[in-house]
Structure 1
Amino acid sequence: AVLGTGPRPPPPPPRHLIAGSSALRTPCAGLGSAAELAFLLEPVDVVAVRDRPLVLHCLVQGEPPVRIRWFKDGAALGGPAAVLANGSLRLESVHRRPRDGSATDASTGEYSCAAQNRDGLLLSRKARVQLATLSRFHMHPESMAVEEGGVARFQCLIQGVPEATITWERNRTALPPDDPRFTLLPAGVLQITGVRRADVGAYRCMATNIAGARCSQEACDLWGEPTILSGPQNLTLTVHQTAILECIATGHPRPIVSWSRLDGRSIGVEGIQVLGTGNLMIADVSVQHAGVYVCAANRPGTRVRRTAQGILMVQAPPEFVQWPQSVSKPPGGSAIFTCVAQGVPEPRLIWLKNGRLLAPSEHVRLSHNNSTLMIQRVAPADEAIYQCIAENSAGTNQASARLAVAPAQELPRAPEGVRAAALSTTAIQVAWAEPAPEVTDSIIGYVLHIRRVGESESRELQEAVSKATFQHIFTNLEPSTTYSIYLRAYSPLGASQDSQPILATTLGSSKVPAAPGFFTKVLNASAVQAFWELPSAPGSIEGFKLFHRRLPGPRFEGPQVLGSTANSYVYSNLEPLATYEIKLQAFNGNGDGNSSLRLVSLQDGVQKPGEPGAQGG
C-alpha cells in the first residue's frame, strides 16, 4: 500500500512513450515491436489520507496519438482537469463520498485507466483506493494472574487501514526494547515470559497509523496459577506475506513448545523463526506452506502434554504460464490466442476486445475453460487488442495481444468439399472438390496436413500432391485413432487459407477408450491432486473427464474436461478433512470410455491431538 500522494513517479520516458505526446509518429512499426500499445506503469492499490491529494499513475508506450481515459468502479470519470499531461490521475481530495460540484474530489473505490490509439484499446488492472481509518478497540487487554517464572499474555484488537502499529506500555511507560522476555506479535499480542515481581503493573496498548492514534484500557498483571494461554488460529494469507502462528503456554516447570505439520511433512528451516518461547513465524509464505500446524506443550521429563492446531491457507494471485501472442491474419483466416494462468484458488479467465467483455458468437469461440480464444473467418471488424484477464480472490493479472487483419492479394481460395473415410486400421482416404477452371490455372499444388487429435501442431505431418490430384490416401496410421485433417492450395504467390478441418478415425477393434488407471495425492487439508499416465498412442483419445463428489453426497460434480496431453489436475478449496470420491474417464470421437474411481480422505494418516506420537518434526 502507498500512502499520501502515492508512489514517486519514475523519470520521464522518451517523448514517444508518453501518453498524449505530440511527437512524430514512428514509421511503420512492425507487429509486436516496441511501438505496440502496452503499459509501462499501471495504477496500484493506494491508501489515502482524508483531505490530502494523491496521484494514480498510468504510463503507456505506443504509436501516438494515445488517448488516456480513467474509470471508477467501471464508470467513466468526468473532469478532464484531473488527468495530468502524462496520463496520470490527480485527485485533489479523497472522501468516502464525492463532494457535490467538485470534479477532482473522489470517493473510495476501484480505479482503472484505458489507453487507446489506432491499434485498439488496452485496459489496465484495477487499483483499489481506500481511506485511512482507525476504529475503536474491539478488544481490550484483560487482567490476569500468573505464577513467578510463568508466562503472561495480553491482547488488544483494533481495525485500521492501513494496519495499525501496536506498542505496549506498563504503568504509562514504554516497555524496555532490549528485554528478550517481552515478545510483541503484530496481531496486538504481548507475551511476557519468566514473569518477575517487577513486572506487576497496569498494561495498555497503543495503536497508530496515518489516520491517528488510540490507547486501550489498562489491565493488571498479578501472581496466580498456571494455565494454557493461546494456540494457533486459522489463517488465510497471500504468497509472500508473513505467517505468525501463536503458541504460548505456562506451567511449572516451564513446558517445552514444539511444532509439527498434521500431514507429517517437514516444516523446513528456510524462512522459519521462533518468536519468544514458542510462536512460529514463516516469512515469505508459499503455496507449499499451506497445511494444518500443530503446536505441542510438553512437561519436561514426562509424557504429559497439551496440543492445539490451526490451518494455514495460502492463496496465490494469478501468474501467466502462457501469454497470447500478436498475430496478423488475412480476411477469412483463423486466429488463435492461448492464455494459461495458475494460482490458488484456480484463476478465472475472461477476454476483452478493446476493453469490452468478449462474448462467444458464431465465429468467436472460447474453449478449455476460456484459455483458448479462436476467431474464425477473420474480418476487418475483428482487428483489435485482445486481453486475457486472470482473476481470483488473491488478485488479478492481464496479458494482451493484437490481431491485425492483412489483405490477402491474389491467393487461391481454400479447398472446398473436403471429406475423408477410413479404408483400414492404418489408412484414411481424403478427397476434395475440383476448383473451377479459371482457378485451377493459378494453382501449382496442394499440401495436406494430418495429426492425431489432441497432439500439438509441432507433431503435424504434411504431404504434398500435384495440382491435378483431388484425392490422397494417408497410410501407416495407428488403429482406432482419430485424426484431424485439412489442406491448402498453393499458387506462386503463396498458400490459401486452411480448408475446414475434418475428423476421421481409423478402423479398429475398440471403439471407445479403456478405463484409465490413476492415482491421487493429498497436498494439504483441503487440496488433492489426481494424476495418470498417458497412453502410448495419444491419438486414441481426445481428452479426459474428471468428476468429484463429497461423500456421502449422491451426485458427482463436473465434468472437468482436460485435453489429451493433460496428465494431472489439482482440486483445491475442498472441505477440510472430508472424504471425496474422484472419477476419471477418457473419451474420443466414438464416445466416453469406462470410468475409474478412487476414494480420497483428506484426513488419512492424520493423528488427533493428544494421541501418542502426534508430535512431529
Structure 2
Amino acid sequence: MSNLSRGNVELDPGITIHPAPSVVIAQKNSPLLLNCSASSSPDAGPVTITWFKDGQPVVIDRRVQVRENGSLYFTQVKKNRNSKNKNRNHNGFYECFIKNKYGTVIARQVHLQVARISKSFSIEPADQEVKLGGVARFKCQIDGIPPPLYVWEKNSSPLPHNNRYITLYSGILQIHNISESDAGSFHCSVYQSFNKVNNVPVTIDLIWQHSRVQAGLKVITDTERRPPKIVAISKEVNATIKHSVTLECLADGNPSPVVTWMKDGNPTLDDNFKEIYGRSNLKFIEVGKIDAGTYKCVASSPGFPDAVAETKLNVKVPPFIIEAPVSEGYPVARRFRLKCTVGGTPTPKVTWYKNGQKIESLENMQINPDNELLIDSSTSDSGYYQCIAKNDVGVDMAIARLQIILKENAPKPPGNVTVTSVTSAEVCIQWSPSEYTDCCPVLAYTVHYGELKDVTQKAVTLKKNECIHDLKPHTDYKFYIRAYSRNGAGAQSDTMTVKTLESVPDAAPNLRLSSSSPSSIDVEWDPVPPEKCNGIITGYQIFVSNGGHEIMENVSAANQSYTVKGKNIISSVGMNVSAANQSYTVK
C-alpha cells in the first residue's frame, strides 16, 4: 500500500467506553445488573441500546429487563442446562451495542457465568504412613465457579496454629517435621464465598458448605538418616500479572532438608515481591512478567547429594492497546490507515468492526499483519470503527469515528456503467459522463478493479471507456468508476461484477497406470487443481498410441479412471490424459 494519508479534521468520537469486567460470576436465583459501560455525548443525537446473547437479541421477559440507562437487569439469574427453553439458562456471552446518529459501537462484551460446584470431588485425600520427622501431604480438589475455598480440620477441630501446618489455595495441606501428635484424621471442607468475587455487582455474603472427605495419618517411628527427596513439585503454573501465586515444593529427608529456589542459576528471593511460604514454597505476592520462566527447587542435607526438581511459571498479561485508532475526517478517495497496536501475553487476537459488524474483507478495506486497517475511502465508509483485542485472560477495545468528506461541487458519480468480458484476460468498461458544475469540469476518471475481495488496482483515463488487460481467466472481478475535478474526487459509481472468459487449462492431470492383463491398462488420474482449470472442466480425453495406431477416448468429468483394452496393448504403448473445459482442451 502506498500514498497513505492521514485526515486533517479531528473529530469528537461522540461515544465513550468505560472499563468493565469481561467475566461476571453470578449466584443462581439472585439478581444481577450488567451495565452497558458506555455513554454518548448530547451532540450525537438520540441513543439506542441493544443487548445480544450468543449472537442473538436478548429476549426480554419477567426475569430479564433493560433499564432506562441501558443496563441489563436479571431479577433472577437462572441456569438450567436440560431445559428446552433457552431463556431459562442465563449462562452465555453478552454484547451491548450503543447507537447514535454517527453509527454503532460494541460497548461491552462480557461472559456471564452462573456459579456452580460439582457434586463430587475430583481428588480426595488418601491415608498416609509417614516417618517421624518427615513430611505429609494431603490434597482434595473439586470443580467449581468461582474457585472454591478449602478448609482443613484435624479430628473435627481447627488445625493447630504453627508453621508446620501449611495450607495452599489449591486444596493442599502440608505437614512438616511430623511428630507422634500429628497422627489422626484430617478432613477437607469446601466452601464457596461470593463476597470474595470482585465481579459480582451486588453484595452477597453467602457461604456454601458442599461436602467433606477425610484421610488418616499414621506416624512411624524411624530415626535413620534419609537423603533429601522432593515429594511434590508444582506442575506448570499459569498466573495473571499482578496476582498472587505460589509454587509448591515439598521435600522429605532426615535431617530435614533446607530448600532453596533458583532461576537461571541465581537465587530467586531478590526483591520484595517474593517470599518463602511455609518452609519450602515460593510465593509471589504480585507476579510480574519478568517472573515467567523455569524454577528449580533444591533440597539440601549435609552428607547427601542435593535433590532437585523443576517447575515452570507462565505469566499471562491481559490485552492492552498501545496505539489506538484516531477519530478524524478524511476526503473521499483517500487511502489511509487506522492503527491498533496491542500488547499482552499470549499475543491477543485483534478483530476490527465497522458500526458493530465484523470486518471480514471488503473491496476497499484490508487488514495487514500489524493489525492496521487500510481503507480506500468512499462516502459509505463514514461511521464507527472499533478494534477489539482478546486473549484468554482479558479483552481491551478502542473506537474511532470517521467522517468521509465529499467536497462541495465535486463531480457526480458516473452513470450507466457497463462491463463486458472480451477474452479470458481482458474486460472493457463504458460509462456515461459525470455531471458537474460550471466551475469544476471533470479532469479525469479512475477505473477501480480487482477480484471480489481485493478491489485495489486502478487505471486513469480521460475517456469514457477503458479496457483492462492481464486479468485471470474465468475469475470474478469488480469494477467501479470515479470522476475527478479540481475540487477533488467525486463519489464512486455503482459497482459492477463480471467474470472473464475461460482459457486453456494450465495443467494436465497426473497419471497413474497399472495392468492386470496383457490386453488392458487401468488409467487413474487426479483432478486438475482449481487454480489451473481456467474454467469448468467438462471432461477428459485419453490418447493412446500403440504401434502407430492411435486411439482417443472421451470420459466424463465425473470420472477419474478408465480401462483401455486391446490385444497385447501393454507391450508398446504411449498415453496421456488431457482436461477439457467448455471451450478448450490441453494435450
Q: 2:159 aligns with which of 175, 196, 200?
A: 175
Is 1:213 the counterpart of 2:214? The answer is no
Is 1:230–1:247's contact at 8 Å kept on the other side of the alignment? Answer: yes
Amino acid at match of 1:238: T
Which position in structure 1 is the counterpart of 2:46?
65
Relative to the length of structure 1, the TM-score reads 0.59
What corresponds to 2:427 in structure 1? none
- Partner residue of 2:323? 322
Q: Check the 8 A contact 1:44/1:56 in 2, yes or no.
A: no
Deviation of the 1:114 alpha carbon: 0.7
Q: Aligned equivalents of 1:92 and 1:108: distance in 2? A: 15
Contact 1:90–1:104, Cα closer than 8 Å, also in 2: no
Contact 2:189 2:209 in 1 (8 A): no
Using the TM superposition, name which of 258-267 and 112-121 deviates more.
258-267
CA contact (8 A) 1:150 1:251 kept: yes
> Deviation of residue 264 (structure 1)?
5.5
Q: Indicate conservation of the 8 Å contact 2:165/2:174, yes or no.
A: yes
Q: SS of the counterpart of 1:254? A: coil
Bigger Cα displacement from structure 2, 72-81 vs 275-284: 72-81
What does 1:32-51 correspond to in 2, within 5 Å? 32-33=11-12, 36-40=14-18, 42=20, 44-51=22-29
The whole-number CA distance in structure 2 between the counterparts of 1:106 and 1:121 is 28
- The Cα shift of 1:233 comes to 1.6
Report the counterpart of residue 145 of structure 2 in structure 1.
Answer: 161
Distance 1:222 1:101, change over 3 A: closer
Shift in Å, 1:294: 0.7
* 1:532-571 paired onto structure 2 within 5 Å: none
1:397–1:59 CA distance, 2 compared to 1 (3 A): closer
The amino acid of 2:65's aligned partner reads A
Q: Which residue of 1 aligns with 2:301?
A: 299
SS across alignment from 1:51: coil
Per-residue Cα deviation, 1:216-237 (whole angstroms, up to 9, x for no partner): 1232242255664212321122
Shift of 1:44: 4.0
Structure 2 distance, partners of 1:497, 1:182, is 78
Distance 1:138 1:266, change over 3 A: closer
- SS of the equivalent of 2:295 reads strand
- Matches of residues 361-380 of structure 1 in structure 2 within 5 Å? 361-369=362-370, 371-376=371-376, 378-380=377-379
Shift of 1:147: 3.0
Aligned match of 2:250: 248
Instruction: Report if the CA contact (8 A) 1:349-1:391 is conserved.
Output: yes
Q: Secondary structure at 1:142's aligned position in 2?
A: coil
- Once the two structures are superposed, residues 557-578 of structure 1 have per-residue CA deviations (whole angstroms, 9 ceiling, x without a partner) of xxxxxxxxxxxxxxxxxxxxxx
Shift of 1:388: 0.7
In 1, distance between residues paired with 2:176 and 2:57? Answer: 57
Q: Over alpha carbons, which structure has the higher Rg? A: 2
Q: Following the alignment from structure 1 to structure 2, what is the Cα–Cα distance between the partners of residues 266 and 134? A: 37
Counterparts of 1:100-179 in structure 2, within 5 Å, are 105-135=88-118, 136-176=120-160, 178-179=161-162
Q: Is the 8 A contact 2:379 2:406 kept in 1?
A: no
The question of 1:194 aligning with 2:177 is answered yes
SS of the aligned residue for 2:29 comes to: coil
Q: Report 1:190-589 matches (<5 A).
A: 190-210=173-193, 211-223=208-220, 228-262=230-264, 268-300=270-302, 302-369=303-370, 371-376=371-376, 378-410=377-409, 496=488
Name the structure 2 match of 1:52: 30
Q: Is the 8 A contact 1:164 1:209 kept in 2?
A: yes
Label 1:440 to 1:79 Cα distance change in 2 as closer, same or farther (>3 A): closer
**CA distance change for structure 1 residues 112 and 187 in 2, over 3 Å: closer, same or farther?**
same
Show the counterpart of 1:466. none
AA partner of residue 128 (structure 2): M
SS at match of 1:288: helix
Aligned-partner Cα distance in 1 for 2:182–2:364: 76
Distance across 1 between alignment mates of 2:86 and 2:263: 55
Kindly indicate whether the alpha-carbon contact (under 8 Å) linking 1:43 and 1:57 is maintained by their aligned counterparts in 2. Answer: no
1:496 shift after superposition? 4.7
Contact 2:384 2:400 in 1 (8 A): yes
Q: How far is the alpha carbon of 1:442 from its aligned partner?
A: 13
Matched length: 393
Structure 1 unmatched runs, 5+: 1-29, 414-435, 444-488, 499-617
The Cα shift of 1:101 comes to: 10
- Matched residue of 2:162: which SS? coil
Displacement of 1:260 after TM fit? 0.7
Q: Give secondary structure in 1 for the equivalent of 2:51.
A: strand
Q: Separation in 2 of the partners of 1:167 and 1:365? A: 55
Contact 1:257–1:296 (Cα < 8 Å) also in 2: yes
**Separation of aligned partners in 1, 2:155 and 2:48:** 61
CA deviation vs aligned residue, 1:469-521 (integer Å, no higher than 9, x gap): xxxxxxxxxxxxxxxxxxxx998xxx8579xxxxxxxxxxxxxxxxxxxxxxx
Task: Give yes or no for contact 1:319–1:342 (8 Å, CA) kept in 2.
Answer: yes
Stretch of structure 1 that moved more, 402-411 or 336-345: 402-411
Q: 1:76 to 1:412 in 2, by over 3 A?
A: closer
Q: Give the equivalent residue in structure 1 for 2:568.
A: none
Structure 2 distance, partners of 1:182, 1:331, is 72
The structural deviation recorded for 1:106 is: 4.0
| Contact 1:321–1:342 (CA under 8 A) maintained in structure 2 | yes
In the alignment, which of 43, 64, 69 is matched to residue 86 of structure 1?
A: 69
Q: List alignment gaps of at least 5 residues for structure 2.
A: 1-8, 194-207, 413-435, 444-483, 491-587
Within 1, Cα distance between the matches of 2:30 and 2:173? 34
The question of whether the paired residues in 2 share the 8 Å contact of 1:337 and 1:372 is answered with yes
Instruction: Output the CA distance in 2 between the equivalents of 1:263 and 1:69.
Output: 56
1:43–1:58 CA contact under 8 A, matched in 2: no
Q: Which amino acid aligns with 1:223?
A: I
Task: Give the letter for the 1:132 counterpart.
Answer: A
SS at match of 1:251: strand
Task: Give distance in 2, aligned partners of 1:109 and 1:388.
Answer: 22
Residue 175 to residue 98, structure 1, CA distance change in 2 (3 Å): closer
Aligned-partner Cα distance in 1 for 2:47–2:152: 53
Question: Could you list the per-position Cα deviations for residues 147-180 of structure 1 after superposition, in whole angstroms to 9, with x for gaps in the alignment?
Answer: 333322211112221111111111111113x322
Call closer, same or farther: CA 1:118–1:256 in 2, change over 3 Å: same
Do the aligned partners of 1:232 and 1:308 also contact (CA within 8 Å) in 2? no
* Residues 338 and 372 in structure 2, CA contact (< 8 A), matched pair in contact too: yes
Q: Residues 296 and 306 of structure 1 are in contact (CA less than 8 Å); yes or no, is this contact kept in structure 2?
A: yes
CA deviation profile, 1:291-319 (whole Å, cap 9, x unmatched)? 1111011113x351111111112222211
1:218 counterpart letter in structure 2 = A
Q: Deviations over 1:245-283 (max 9, x none)?
A: 111112111111011124658563231011111100112
- Partner deviation per Cα, 1:301-352 (whole Å, 9 max, x = no partner): x351111111112222211111000111232233421111111122222110
Question: 1:93: Cα distance to partner?
Answer: 2.3
Q: Please give the alpha-carbon distance, in whole angstroms, between the structure 2 residues aligned to 1:98 and 1:394.
A: 26
User: CA distance change for structure 1 residues 263 and 314 in 2, over 3 Å: closer, same or farther?
Assistant: farther
Q: Secondary structure at the match of 1:65?
A: coil
Give the SS at the match of 2:290: helix
The equivalent residue for 1:613 is none
Q: What SS class does the counterpart of residue 181 from structure 2 fall into?
A: helix
The answer as to whether partners of 1:91 and 1:104 remain within 8 angstroms in 2 is: no
8 Å CA contact 1:263–1:291 kept in 2: the answer is no
